A and B are shown apart, each in its own frame.
Chain A
Amino acid sequence: MNDASPFLDLDPGGPRVSVRFDGTDHALPEGANLAAALLAAGVRVFRATPVSGAPRAPFCMMGACYDCLVLIDGVTRQACMTRVTDGLVVERAPGRDLHDG
């Protein structure tokens, strides 16, 4: 999670709020698209698939592929359809144990 982000942020200014993802705290732009903000923060793997435990991350960014599923307040949600708010606690969506295959 501490890797330099593979993404360039054109507008890094603006207010940031604290979001916890999978146990790690991130300062993300308030009101941003959660999937985009986590990608920009260097998060590369969002979940493991229920079938094989393969790692997945956002693929379509338009609410169609469901690869960015996360767990918020016990509800499975699409990170790309969720806004960043202060104090958001995001967990990995239920799946098999992550493998590196």
Chain B
Amino acid sequence: MRKPLVKATQEGMKSMSIIKHGLAAFAAGTLGVALALPAAAAPVKFDFWFGLSGDLARVVDTLCKNFNASQSDYEVVCTSQGNYDATLQNTIAAFRAGKQPTVVQVYDVGTATMMLSGAYYPADKLMEENGYKIDYSDYFPGIARYYATSKGEMLSFPFNSSTALMYWNKDAFAKIGKTEAPKTWEEVGADLQAMKDAGYECPMAINISANESWQLMEQFSAIHNQPIATKSNGYDGLDARLAVNKTKFVQYVGDLKKWYDAGLIKIKSKDLGQDMVQAFASGTCQVILTSVGDHGTVGKTHKEGMNWDVAELPVYAGTERKNSLVGGASLWVLSGKPAEEYKGAAAFLNFIHDPKTALFWSTNTGYIPVAKSGFDYMKSNGFYDKAPYKGRETAIASLTASEPTEITRGIRLGNFTQIRAEFGTQMQAIFANKVSVQDGLDTLVKNGDAILDRFQQTYPNKTLP
């Protein structure tokens, strides 16, 4: 019984290896033809991994095609890793195996992890060595300072930048006699109640997973000039610890919970079949807080005839509004790659920095230009006056509401991904009535501090650059 089986398998393998050899020979043949034809050398290929998906991934692919078409020395191979978390995780796994991409998109809160990793090639050094002059003062200060070291060096290149905005349904607000978006949270509470009384099932939608740490905790804290962590949100040392259980954020979570209990806020997530953006675009929910990056999606998918607009995130009455935080990601060049690939990476980064690329990028996504030159170029082209893009300048207004303070310049905490996950865990516990608001946030701080503690122990005797 056994023998024929083994034989069959062997034969199977043999035939497979024949196919393989055949393919290899075929490939070698075409390669030979390809090599024989052009006189110029083949372009140097290098990898670029990014974390955007869906519609945005297609825009990145086009961007890559445009770069490859713009010159013949280099060819960038762009691969989406699905989302930001996976991109960082896969990059780290690849790095450990010595197969890392040359350029990788790392999200805002991965900055501290990257800075201490020792696994990158400083972007400013790379550009200088390859003869590209980049005017770093051209970046919006809020954006540059988020990614820069304490000495102002740019270790990575800001790529896609956004900030959180409030999307509001003008029709629903008109029903309750309002033509302006609410400016304070007190006003929001009253408006949501009024909408509920006017028969709206879902006045406002939120989600409470790890991702919403960004608009609910981080942006809220920045605008109200409240610390997320001690030591200037971590910029001044690895011994920074969370502070969100003693700030205005506690009141905010309390209000959100109260509104949720009163049926003014509904939870919408992809797992529930409809995420916030879809809920808003379909007219189901009247207010959401999300990235300006979704502006394009809402514009393309909203219900026929629906009137909507964006506004800056509300503040509590009596608060002096500060700038909101930049969200998004920057491009890191990783260490351990051959010199030719670095040349290609430099050319690629230079291409991305170009105002024309900024226009292409911002038009096709909702992201804002990261440099003033790009913004001015777009403004002079009348971009912000055109119908589908109108309102996106609100994001710039929100980002530049004030000079960045010690607290509003950004967040520089190690393993922040995990802290966001902890945020999701505790928010879920709070909203499921398992713990009180204060207890949940205390646990968030306790567990978050353990994460920061571990990060500090991982890098003994090291300081942030």
**A, B bound:** no
* Interface residue ranges, A against B (CB under 8 Å): none
